[in-house]
Structure 1
Amino acid sequence: FYFSQLEMEEYDARPDRFGPTVIGKYTKGVGQVEARFPTDDEDPISFAMTVVHRLIERMEAKGINETGSYQPDGIPLNIWNAIGRLDIGTESIT
């Protein structure tokens, strides 16, 4: 599920909410076009892991793997072995 940040700004800009000062807060200030939220069978961490997986696959497809420059034989490592550590966190979970 997702919602447009423009719609969110319009909602928050109502006089009974925060007023017109929030126009541009999400789209220009934060740089978001839309916001997504998980359903009952999903969680934010699975969203993050999906993004990381897609990013790594795209890096591999485009040949963005410079680990061969640091290997004695010059052969790049497998893209998944080239990553030492990934930390995924959120500031939204309470």
Structure 2
Amino acid sequence: MNWHTLAQLLTVIQLGQKARTMDGIRIVIRTTAGLVWADGRLQGQPIQLQEHLFSDLWTIYEDDDTLAWLPQRKQHTERTLEMLENQYVEWRAERITE
């Protein structure tokens, strides 16, 4: 099982995947709307980056709830890569013309 800090988690979690803290109390899911709470009283609400989240270790996993996101994951990943490539091309073009 791989454990991630919050910053690492934000870079590797994919659409539809869930992550939980070591104690299992906090669980989030990556959706097209961002990272949201997967259960508890804040279920469905976007997470707010607060101090206590930075000291947690998170593990990423998939379960029955995440299966619904699989068809969208490939398209979402391709779109994200396309946006990054476009930003790089624009940056490079600006740099060359300077």
Q: State the TM-score, normalized to the length of structure 1.
A: 0.30
* Higher strand fraction (1 or 2): 2
Q: State the TM-score, normalized to the length of structure 2.
A: 0.29
Larger radius of gyration: 1
